[in-house]
């Protein structure tokens, strides 16, 4: 994968290229940001550039053996670690990333590296109880692999996707090698939730912040895919800097989920307005029955709808990203979202997201969240 294959981020690409060309390559780098912003493709393109034999014009050549193997995630000096698990494993059995790499390569190839963790977890087919993770045995394997001599003359690269899935034992095992790796050994950590990493891991890495894509970059990507200009403009704004979300919007696969989230948001606000606490508790139970990924999606959409309502309340509705039922409801609801409650409301959403990510009891989390929202909406009456 070349930098040219990645949507947007021209300034960030140039910085990575410049650092490599000047020999200023940090031995442990942490790519942070949304999957849909391109964190994983950027890390792979960077790994390819690091080991390309014929770099030119600020990019890897794409045709040398190192480039071809890296693009396929099959380079002998590119080691990949990711959250895994499997049903029916035996007691004491080590479940390691290598067993699942063919599936991961297939997903990467199909999506160009733009996919959410949930899509990977679906391919693992773990049911409702098992959780993907990076185990202490995997950490031992990381150290073992990096102790070998490299196959080529370039860098040995350890790419860890979603390092926040490491348990504390695994994270602590790699601290020494993360701080003082062998010569020409590079760690590339790719994280969506860097706030969940141990401080000792964060302190040993150099952050490469991958921002959301601009609406213009997404619009260009939509038009390049054959989308009509007006629809591309609207979808790019709704996708909020996320290429995965843009693809879902254009394909229509996100419509049902967005509709469900909107219905729950509308119910939450109407029940809050009318001070109907028992029904709010029932709504919290409904939210608690969703998967954790869907719970996070709902909270993200709730934050989006609150922000858009505030934009309308502020008198700049022309900059709103809403249409249809969402626009109709939020226009009527906007008077109840103002300067005195927008920040506390968003803070409650962020708190609920953190608790869900940390495996908090969803019934308790959503009951507290919805009753708290009710008080803040009532404050505006």
How many beta carbons lie within 10 A of that of residue 118, not counting itself? Answer: 14
Q: Mean pLDDT per segment of 10 residues, for the chain of length 381 residues?
A: 95 96 94 96 97 94 96 96 89 88 96 93 83 93 92 92 94 92 94 92 95 93 89 84 89 74 94 92 95 88 91 79 81 91 94 89 95 81 44
Nearest to 188 by CA among 215, 223, 208, 159: 159
Give the pLDDT score at 291: 87
Residue recorded with tokens 């396929």: 72
Beta strands in 16-60 (DSSP E): 28-32
Distance from the first to the final alpha carbon of the chain: 55
- Give CA–CA dist 39/36, Å, rounded: 8
**Residue 92: how many other CB atoms lie within 10 Å:** 6
pLDDT digit string (tens) for 166-198?
Answer: 989 999 999 999 999 888 999 999 999 898 899
Q: For the segment 285-309, what is each residue's pLDDT rounded down to a tens digit?
A: 999 999 888 898 899 889 989 988 9
Instruction: Record the pTM.
Output: 0.77
């Amino acid at each position: 994968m070349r930098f040219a294959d990645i949507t947007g981020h021209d300034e960030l690409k140039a910085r990575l290229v410049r650092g490599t060309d000047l020999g200023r390559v940090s031995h442990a780098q942490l790519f942070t940001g949304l999957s849909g912003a391109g964190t994983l493709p950027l890390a792979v393109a960077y790994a390819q550039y690091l080991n390309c034999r014929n770099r030119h014009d600020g990019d890897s050549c794409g045709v040398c053996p190192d480039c071809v193997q890296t693009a396929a995630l099959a380079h002998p000096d590119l080691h990949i670690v990711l959250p895994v698990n499997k049903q029916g494993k035996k007691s004491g059995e080590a479940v390691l990333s290598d067993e699942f790499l063919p599936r991961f390569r297939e997903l990467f190839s199909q999506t160009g590296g733009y996919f959410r963790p949930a899509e990977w977890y679906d391919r693992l087919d773990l049911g409702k109880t098992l959780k993907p993770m990076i185990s202490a045995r995997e950490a031992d394997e990381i150290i073992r692999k990096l102790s070998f001599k490299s196959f080529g003359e370039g860098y040995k690269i350890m790419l860890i996707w979603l390092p926040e899935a490491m348990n504390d034992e695994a994270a602590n095992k790699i601290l020494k090698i993360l701080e003082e790796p062998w010569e020409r050994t590079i760690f590339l950590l790719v994280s969506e939730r860097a706030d969940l990493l141990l401080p000792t891991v964060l302190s040993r890495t150099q952050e490469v912040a991958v921002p959301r894509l601009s609406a213009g970059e997404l619009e260009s990507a939509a038009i390049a895919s054959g989308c009509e200009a007006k629809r591309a403009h609207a979808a790019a704004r709704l996708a909020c800097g996320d290429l995965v979300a843009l693809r879902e919007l254009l394909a229509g696969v996100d419509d049902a989920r967005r509709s469900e989230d909107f219905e729950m948001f509308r119910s939450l606000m109407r029940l809050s307005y009318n001070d109907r606490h028992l029904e709010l508790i029932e709504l919290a139970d409904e939210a608690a029955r969703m998967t954790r990924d869907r719970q996070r999606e709902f909270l993200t959409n709730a934050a989006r709808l609150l922000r858009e309502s505030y934009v309308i309340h502020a008198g700049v509705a022309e900059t709103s990203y809403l249409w249809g039922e969402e626009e109709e409801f939020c226009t009527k609801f906007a008077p109840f979202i103002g300067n005195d409650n927008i920040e506390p409301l968003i803070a409650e959403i962020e708190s609920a997201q953190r608790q869900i990510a940390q495996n908090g009891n969803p019934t308790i989390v959503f009951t507290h969240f919805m009753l708290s929202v009710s008080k803040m909406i009532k404050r505006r009456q």
